[in-house]
Amino acid sequence: MRSALLDIPIDIVETIVENAFGWLVVVDKEGKIIYINKNYCDFLEVERDTVIGVHVSKVIENSRMHIVAATGKEEIADLQYIRGNYMIANRIPIVSNNFVVGAFGTVFFRDTKEWMKMNSHVKSMLTKIQSYIQDIDRSVKYSLDDLLGNSKQIQSLKDKVKMIAASDISVLIRGESGTGKELFAHSIHQLSNRSHQPFVKINCGAIPEHLLESELFGYEEGAFTGARKGGKKGKFQLADGGTLFLDEIGDMPINMQVKLLRALQEGEVESVGSTEPVHIDVRIIAATNRPLEKMMEEKRFREDLFYRINVVPFMIPPLRERMEDVPILMDYFIKKITKKSGKRIMSIDEDVIERFQQYSWPGNIRELENVIEAAIHLTNNEVITLESLPDYLKESSLFPVGKKKLKEIIEETERRILLQSLAKYNNNKLEAAKALGISKSSLYEKLKKYGIDHS
């Protein structure tokens, strides 16, 4: 069948190709340039006639066009450093009769600022239409694959997610700030039978007490001064059929705990200003970093509510107890941040890795991400060194003096050393004991003391 393209005059085809892309280059199988448009030549400050037939690597800085032509593997939206800036480019192999005969490349953002400008424009447009849609996210941002780590603790928790996700059972996720509690909540919903229904989050500690009831249960028109015309649905109604994530539930005022418990027991809510209860069907996932048992003793958290939400408990370990996961997390955050910032990072100095392994990470994964982001922006080259780190991580002593008692610091340090030793020797207790200069029986006693799995 004859292609309609063949009927188009060659000068029209050339005009289209010349102007359809900002910058365009085509190479043959050997990586030699067979076509490059005028815009690209102007940017490179070269004459087209002089570069035709020349190997692309001698014309375009950091080019990978010859690699794509040789491997036949396309590269989409890749960062390329040319003449002092990062470009965003596509490189596509050209196939004829099932053989790769060359490749063509296009630059569709001439620098990362162009991309950021467009991204900001899109976000601005979305903000303008936000008032016309409900403030509700019917999808989750994270899945089980986003829970990074090969440690026994994380693998065990991921298995637990798979076991309980399909049920409607209530879940209480506990752990220090920054450990990733919300990721687990998203993962549970995403694997549940309610995954096609709303996932609604409310931070119980971020909303003023006098507004919390209307946020949870909604309100009727005229319920109070300033109430929206037509009323407003609460988080329970918005989550009907899906999952309600009660973040920081330990910060909920005691009087609201009573109303929340009643809603959970009765399966219905009553909007502020209404006399008619509304039936709701939600699954509850709660999270907190607060010591709820102590709060119950002090009458600051209701026991009946605790047992209602704590049907399946999840305890997320702090980062200092899963140090073997630090390299995986570091690699992920470096790729994530460099992709966003456009900076190129090729390696991390061994001293930085050692310092990271020594540090206790009180801010957990969130702190690790922030430190890596700061280091990437503070480094002057393509290697993260100690000089790139925030000042507090450059200090020779990283012990939390003034924040914890000496006994606590010593025990925490000993526990961390035990975990690092087991990780280094692949859980070989005898090798770890030899390296530490203690007997195997002493090692087992210490593992038992600190609750470290020694199976």
Residue-level pLDDT at 110: 54
User: In the numeric block, which tokens belong to residue 362?
Assistant: 């009180």
Letter for the amino acid at 274? S
- Angle, vertex CA 105, rays to CA 101 and CA 106, nearest 5: 150
Residue-level pLDDT at 7: 62
User: In the numeric block, which tokens belong to residue 102?
Assistant: 């060359």
Distance CA 32, CA 53 (A): 5
Per-residue pLDDT of the chain (455 residues; tens, 9 = 90+): 455 555 666 667 777 767 666 788 999 999 999 999 888 888 888 999 999 999 999 999 889 999 999 999 998 878 777 776 667 788 999 998 889 999 999 886 655 455 455 554 444 454 444 434 444 444 567 888 888 999 999 999 999 999 888 888 999 999 998 999 999 999 999 888 888 899 999 999 888 888 888 889 888 766 666 666 767 888 999 999 999 999 999 999 999 999 999 999 998 888 887 778 889 999 999 999 999 999 999 999 999 999 999 999 999 999 988 989 999 999 999 999 988 888 888 888 888 888 888 788 888 999 999 999 999 988 888 889 888 888 878 764 555 556 667 777 778 778 877 887 787 777 888 888 888 888 888 888 888 888 887 66
CA 437 to chain centre: 40
Residue-level pLDDT at 137: 46
Distance CA 182, CA 311 (A): 18
Give the chain's domains with CATH numbers.
Answer: 8-110 (3.30.450.20), 142-316 (3.40.50.300), 318-392 (1.10.8.60), 405-448 (1.10.10)
Count of Cβ atoms closer than 10 Å to residue 261 Cβ: 16
Query: Do residues 172 and 145 make contact, with C-beta atoms less than 8 angstroms apart?
Result: no
Residues 6+ apart with CB under 8 A from 137: 198, 199, 200, 201
Distance CA 169, CA 283 (A): 7
Query: Do residues 344 and 338 make contact, with C-beta atoms less than 8 angstroms apart?
Result: yes
Q: What is the DSSP letter of 239?
A: T
Helix (H, G, I), strand (E, B) or coil at 104: strand
Residue-level pLDDT at 129: 47
Which residue in the block uniquely carries the two structure tokens 């009727």? 220
